[in-house]
Every structure is written in C-alpha cells, then in structure tokens.
Amino acid sequence: MANSTLIIFTRYPEPGKTKTRMIPALGAEGAAKLQRQMSEHTLKTATEWQKSSGGNIAIYFAGGNVSLMSNWLGKDLTYYPQKEGNLGYRMESAFNQAFNRGVTRVVTIGIDCPDINLVILNQAFSCLSEKELVLGKAEDGGYYLIGLNYLIPELFQNINWGTSQVLAQTQNIANSLNLNTAYLPMLRDVDRPEDLFIWQKYQ
C-alpha cells in the first residue's frame, strides 16, 4: 500500500478551543487533555498501519501551527493546516491535495473514534482496491471514516455536518452517483460526556 495515505484530522489541544462539548464535564483543561490523548492514541494506531503497510500518514490540523504540531506529535510526520470552511470543504480539500500528490488510495479519519484499529484501517484500504467509496458508520448517524480512490466533490457538499443526517445524506449522494460503496463495522464516537466510557477502557 505504498501509494496509500491515511489522513488524520485533529486540532492542537489548546484549552477552551477543543472538545468544547466536553468542557461541562471535564473543564477546559480536561477537554484539551482528552483531545491530546485521543490524538496520540489515533496516531499510535495509524503508525502501526504505516509500519505494516508502507503507506503514508498526513496530519491535517486546526489551531496551533506546524512547529507546535511537530513538537507535539513528532517531526517525522507531514503536517498540513486545514482549509478554512465547513468540515466538508476541509475534507474535500485534503482529499484533493492527496490525489494531486499522486496518491491512489486515501482514507480520512478523525480522532474521536478510539475503537478504530489496525484491522479496520487495513479493511478500509483493501476495500478501495475494488470499491469507489468506503464508509465507517458511526452510531450517531455520521461516519468515522471515509475512503476514496479519486476525488468525488459531491460527497462533501450539501451535507448537514454535525447532525445525525450526515451518513444518510452521504449515502443518498453515493446512490445518486451509482458509487460502488463498502461499509465498515459500526462504531461509536466520543463526542459528548455520555460517551466517555468508551475512552476509559483505553486509559
């Protein structure tokens, strides 16, 4: 999978500006700590995938800067600031940049789903050898992973991001485009205080 890239969307863990829905339960410092720990957990899994597959990791970040990010997560990674705009535009731009670099299989994840493991990542990239789109369904009606082998801008447009309609709207667009789609096992994101039990098993 040498021509494969795993994109990780994350944010520099600055108190008060990250994991804000967790602040009522954890406080600003605690929410930032959660962001930091979950990012590091996701990167650890991604590094396992990289070592076993020969693929590449690209970190797309918000907040901070390249220096802060590399001091935090390591200087041997490639960092890109996320574009300004809604989540769809930011993801579309990241996919577009990867394909413009000549990558043929691209998978994007966030850091909110700690149950993503090496098996899930390998399955996602393997699906892209036969399918045009791969989606990891999230219990909240969104998706925790999206993979493509060429840019399909429509998948990132006219979506109500941050709602329980994201997956259904994405599926409707995929169906309208007759995309050959694969689905990964359903997992749960850690977005709200009631989700924290999922993360606790990784402590």
Query: 82-91: long-range contacts (C-beta < 8 A, 24 or more apart)?
Result: 82/9, 86/161, 87/161, 87/162, 88/156, 88/157, 88/159, 88/161, 89/156, 90/9, 90/60, 91/9, 91/146, 91/156
Contacts of 201 (CB under 8 A, 6+ apart): none
pLDDT tens, the chain, 203 aa long: 569 999 999 999 999 999 999 999 999 999 999 999 999 999 999 999 999 999 999 999 999 999 999 999 999 999 999 999 999 999 999 999 999 999 999 999 999 999 999 999 999 999 999 999 999 999 999 999 999 999 999 999 999 999 999 999 999 999 999 999 999 999 999 999 999 999 999 98
Q: Which domains does the chain have, with CATH numbers?
A: 4-195 (3.90.550.10)
Note the pLDDT of residue 203. Answer: 85
Strand spans (E) along 52-132: 56-62, 78-81, 105-109
Residues paired with residue 79 on neighbouring β-strands, in sequence order = 59
Residue 108 contacts residue 92 (beta carbons within 8 Å)? no
Note the pLDDT of residue 18. Answer: 94
d(CA 60, CA 7): 7
Note the pLDDT of residue 2. Answer: 60
Residue 4 contacts residue 122 (beta carbons within 8 Å)? no
Residue 138 contacts residue 186 (beta carbons within 8 Å)? yes
CA dihedral defined by 178, 162, 8, 65, rounded to 10 degrees? 140
d(CA 193, CA 182): 31
